[in-house]
């Protein structure tokens, strides 16, 4: 594996971009979960148990306590 040298200014910009992307993914996931919860609350999805919902959310990377 090669060593790559990146100037601090460039690295700081890359890091900021990555943090923005992570935030965007988190927001998108939250929105997707909110839509799913709304569908369940409005009975657009038939007979899903809490366990099935938890399994669904786990598959999509949501940590369930």
Query: Is the pTM above the cut of 0.85?
Result: no
CA distances 51 to 24, 26, 28, 35, 64, Å, are 28, 23, 23, 18, 10
Tell me the CA end-to-end span of the chain in Å, nearest whole number: 39
Residue 46: the pLDDT is: 66
Q: At what angle do helices 8-41 and 50-59 cross, to 10 degrees?
A: 160
- At 1-42, the pLDDT tens digits run 899 999 999 999 999 999 999 999 999 888 888 888 887 778
Report whether pLDDT(65) > 80: no
């Amino acid at each position: 594996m090669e060593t790559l040298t990146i100037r601090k200014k460039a690295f700081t910009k890359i890091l900021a971009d990555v943090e923005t992307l992570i935030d965007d993914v988190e927001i998108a996931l939250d929105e997707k979960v909110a839509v799913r919860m709304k569908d369940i609350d409005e009975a657009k999805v038939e007979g899903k148990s809490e366990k099935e919902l938890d399994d669904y959310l786990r598959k999509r990377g949501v940590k369930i306590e």
